[in-house]
C-alpha cells in the first residue's frame, strides 16, 4: 500500500482505539450525568489510561506500523505523547478535587476508597517511570537496569489504573463495559509478550555469529556477524537493527546499531559501534564466535526510500555508520549518481572510517569534505562545524534536487538542519536519523 495512505490509516485507527472505549460508555445502562468539569476529568482519565496502554503498541516494533513513519519517529512519539498522557492523568484527580474539595480525603492512602488507592498507586508508579526515564542519565541509571524497570513500572501502572477504573465503577456499571476496558488494556499488554517472548522465540531459528571484531580509529569497533544456518537478512542501506549478544534470545539486553555494510551483501552484516555507552564500550572485547540475535531491519533513514538524482550525506562522529552503508551499497550497485559527503568529527584521529572511504572514492562519483573541528596545524582543508558558511562553500549548485541525509548527535543535527534551511535546501529533502533510542 502507498506509504502515505498507510500512515494516515494508522493514525485514524489509533485515534479510534483511544476514543472508542470512552464513547462506548455513552451506551445504556447510563449513570446520571454530572457537571461538565467532573465528566471532563473522568474523560481525561479514560483517555490517559488508553494512551498508556497504546504505549505498549508503539514499542512493539511492528514493521507494518513503523514502516510508514520510521521507527525512530514512533519512539520519539512514544516519549512525547507519554508526557501528554501524564499531564492528562495528573489533571484528572486535580479537577475532581477542585470540583468538590471534600474529595481531598480520597488522596489519603489510608482513607478514601479501594478505587482511589489503586489510582494513587498508579500515579506513583507512573511518576517514578517518567522521572527515571527523563532523568535516566542524570540519575546514573544503567541502560539495561532502566529498561527492565521501565517495562515493569509500565505494566504496574496500567494494571493499577485498570483496577482503578474497574472499581470506581460509575461507568463500568455493566459486565460488558468492564470488559471493554479490561480487554483493551490486556490486549495491548499482550504486545509485551509478543515483543519479549514470541519475537525472541522466532529469533531462535535464525542465530548469527560474531565472525570478526575489528578496532577502528576513534574508539570504534566494526562488528561483523554471519548467519548460522540461514540465508541472512535483507535490509535497506541506512537501516539499523537491535542486536543481542547472548546464547539465548530471551535477554532484555539488546542494543540498536546501524548497519555499516553494503545492503547487497545479505550474508555478512557489519555494524560500526563507538564506545559511548556501557555496552558499546565492552564490544571491543567480545570474542569471535559469540552467538548473536538480530531484530531488524528497522528505520526509514535510507536512500532507497528517497530516490534522487544525487545525494549529500552529512555525518557527525559515529553517525557515519549508516552513511558507510549508503556508500558501500552504492559502490556495489555501481551507482553513478553524484554524492557529496561531509564527514565531521572532533579531530582527524577520531574519524573512524577515513581509510575505508579511500577505495570508495574511486568506485563512486564521490566528493568528500573531511571536517575536523580541531584540525592539525598543517591542515589546509575545511575545519570547524557544519554551518551555513561551510554549506555555502561546499554544497553543489543543484542542491535543490539532491536529497540530504544527516546523521550525528542530536544538537548537531538540529544545527545542520537549520543551516541547510538557511541555504535554501527544501525541508522535504532533508532526512535525519534521530538515533537516540534509549
Partner 1 sequence: MRHFLANIALYVIAAFLVSGAALFALMRSTQFVLTDEETMLAHYRPAAGESFEWRELGERTYVANCAGCHGRDGTGRDQYPPLATAAALLPMHGGREYLIDLHLYGLASARRRAPMPPMGHIPDVALAAAMNHVLVEFGQLQLFAPAELLITPAEIAARRGAGIRPQDVEQRRPR
Q: Which of 94, 114, 131, 288 binds partner 1 (CB under 8 A)?
A: 114
Q: Alpha carbon 341 to chain centroid distance?
A: 25
Nearer to partner 1, 70 or 296 (CB): 70
Angle between helices 36-58 and 175-193 (to 10 degrees): 30
Angle between helices 3-24 and 175-193 (to 10 degrees): 140
Residues facing residue 345 across a β-bridge: 372
Q: Which of 11, 131, 139, 197 binds partner 1 (CB under 8 A)?
A: 11
Stretch binding partner 1 (CB under 8 A), from 14-22, 149-157, 279-287, 321-329 = 14-22
Q: Alpha carbon 374 to chain centroid distance?
A: 32
* Block residue for cell numbers 483511544: 18
How big is the site for partner 1, counted in residues (CB under 8 A)? 55
Tell me which H or E stretch contains 280. helix 278-282
* Listed residue (224, 225, 221) closest to 207, CA to CA: 225
- Which residues touch 332 (CB under 8 Å, ≥6 apart)? 262, 264, 265
Q: Nearest approach, Cβ of 35 to partner 1 (angstroms)?
A: 6
Q: Which of 9, 100, 264, 278 binds partner 1 (CB under 8 A)?
A: 100
Q: Nearest approach, Cβ of 40 to partner 1 (angstroms)?
A: 4
Q: Which of 111, 376, 384, 392 binds partner 1 (CB under 8 A)?
A: 111
User: Please, is 85 exposed, middle or buried when counting C-beta atoms within 10 Å of its C-beta (0-12, 13-18, 19+)?
Assistant: buried
Burial 217-226 (b: 16+ CB within 10 A, else e): ebbbbbbbbe
**Site for partner 1 contains 429 (CB under 8 A):** yes
* Block residue for cell numbers 486535580: 94
* Listed residue (435, 415, 433, 77) closest to 277, CA to CA: 435
Pair 329, 357: CB distance under 8 Å: no
Residues 317-376 that bind partner 1 (CB under 8 A): none
Residues 17-76 that bind partner 1 (CB under 8 A): 18-19, 22-23, 25-26, 30-37, 39-40, 42-44, 46-47, 51, 69-70, 73, 76
Question: DSSP letter at 373?
Answer: S
Q: Which of 108, 248, 346, 365 binds partner 1 (CB under 8 A)?
A: 108
**β-pairing verdict for 208-216 and 220-227:** antiparallel
Q: Which of 59, 81, 174, 190 binds partner 1 (CB under 8 A)?
A: 81
Residues 312, 100: Cα–Cα separation, whole Å = 61
Residues 167-206 that bind partner 1 (CB under 8 A): 169-170, 173
**Site for partner 1 contains 400 (CB under 8 A):** no
Number of Cβ within 10 Å of residue 207's Cβ equals: 17
**Site for partner 1 contains 149 (CB under 8 A):** no
**Site for partner 1 contains 126 (CB under 8 A):** no
Nearer to partner 1, 108 or 247 (CB): 108
Q: Which of 89, 263, 344, 432 binds partner 1 (CB under 8 A)?
A: 432
**Site for partner 1 contains 431 (CB under 8 A):** yes
- Pattern of binders to partner 1 over 223-262, x per CB under 8 A? ----------------------------------------
Q: Which spans of this chain sit near partner 1 (rule: CB under 8 A)?
A: 11, 14-15, 18-19, 22-23, 25-26, 30-37, 39-40, 42-44, 46-47, 51, 69-70, 73, 76-77, 80-81, 84, 88, 100, 102-103, 105-106, 108, 111-114, 169-170, 173, 300, 427-432, 434
Amino acid at each position: 500500500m502507498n506509504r502515505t495512505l498507510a500512515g494516515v490509516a494508522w493514525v485514524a485507527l489509533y485515534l479510534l482505539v483511544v476514543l472508542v472505549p470512552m464513547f462506548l460508555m455513552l451506551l445504556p445502562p447510563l449513570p446520571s450525568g454530572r457537571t461538565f468539569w467532573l465528566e471532563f476529568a473522568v474523560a481525561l482519565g479514560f483517555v490517559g489510561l488508553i494512551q498508556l496502554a497504546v504505549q505498549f503498541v508503539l514499542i512493539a516494533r511492528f514493521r507494518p506500523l513503523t514502516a510508514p513513519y520510521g521507527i525512530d519517529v514512533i519512539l520519539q512519539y512514544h516519549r512525547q505523547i507519554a508526557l501528554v498522557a501524564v499531564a492528562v492523568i495528573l489533571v484528572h484527580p486535580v479537577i475532581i478535587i477542585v470540583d468538590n474539595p471534600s474529595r481531598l480525603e480520597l488522596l489519603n492512602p489510608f482513607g478514601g476508597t479501594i478505587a482511589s488507592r489503586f489510582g494513587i498507586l498508579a500515579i506513583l508508579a507512573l511518576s517514578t517511570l517518567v522521572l527515571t526515564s527523563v532523568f535516566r542519565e542524570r540519575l546514573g541509571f544503567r541502560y539495561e537496569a532502566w529498561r527492565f524497570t521501565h517495562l515493569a513500572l509500565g505494566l504496574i501502572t496500567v494494571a493499577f489504573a485498570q483496577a482503578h477504573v474497574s472499581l470506581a465503577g460509575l461507568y463500568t456499571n455493566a459486565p460488558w463495559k468492564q470488559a471493554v476496558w479490561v480487554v483493551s488494556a490486556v490486549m495491548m499488554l499482550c504486545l509485551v509478550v509478543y515483543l519479549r517472548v514470541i519475537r525472541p522465540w522466532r529469533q531462535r531459528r535464525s542465530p548469527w555469529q560474531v565472525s570478526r571484531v575489528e578496532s577502528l580509529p576513534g574508539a570504534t569497533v566494526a562488528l561483523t556477524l554471519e548467519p548460522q544456518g540461514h540465508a541472512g537478512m535483507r535490509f535497506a542501506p541506512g537501516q539499523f537493527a537491535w542486536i543481542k549478544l547472548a546464547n539465548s534470545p530471551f535477554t532484555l539486553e539488546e542494543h540498536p546499531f546501524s548497519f555499516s555494510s553494503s545492503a547487497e551483501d545479505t550474508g555478512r552484516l557489519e555494524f560500526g559501534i563507538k564506545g559511548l555507552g556501557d555496552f558499546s564500550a565492552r564490544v571491543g572485547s567480545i570474542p569471535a564466535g559469540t552467538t548473536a540475535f538480530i531484530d531488524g531491519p528497522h528505520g526509514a533513514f535510507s536512500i532507497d526510500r528517497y530516490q534522487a538524482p544525487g545525494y549529500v550525506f552529512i555525518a557527525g562522529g559515529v553517525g557515519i555508520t549508516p552513511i558507510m552503508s549508503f556508500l558501500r551499497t552504492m559502490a556495489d550497485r555501481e551507482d553513478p549518481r553524484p554524492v557529496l559527503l561531509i564527514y565531521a568529527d572532533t579531530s582527524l584521529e577520531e574519524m573512524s572510517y577515513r581509510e575505508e572511504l579511500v577505495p570508495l572514492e574511486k568506485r563512486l562519483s564521490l566528493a568528500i569534505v573531511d571536517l575536523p573541528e580541531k584540525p592539525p596545524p598543517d591542515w589546509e582543508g575545511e575545519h570547524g562545524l557544519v554551518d551555513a558558511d561551510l554549506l555555502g562553500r561546499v554544497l553543489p549548485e543543484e542542491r535543490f534536487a539532491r536529497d540530504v541525509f544527516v546523521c550525528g548527535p542530536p544538537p548537531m543535527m538540529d544545527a545542520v538542519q537549520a543551516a541547510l534551511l538557511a541555504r535554501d535546501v527544501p525541508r522535504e529533502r532533508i532526512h535525519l536519523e534521530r538515533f537516540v533510542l534509549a
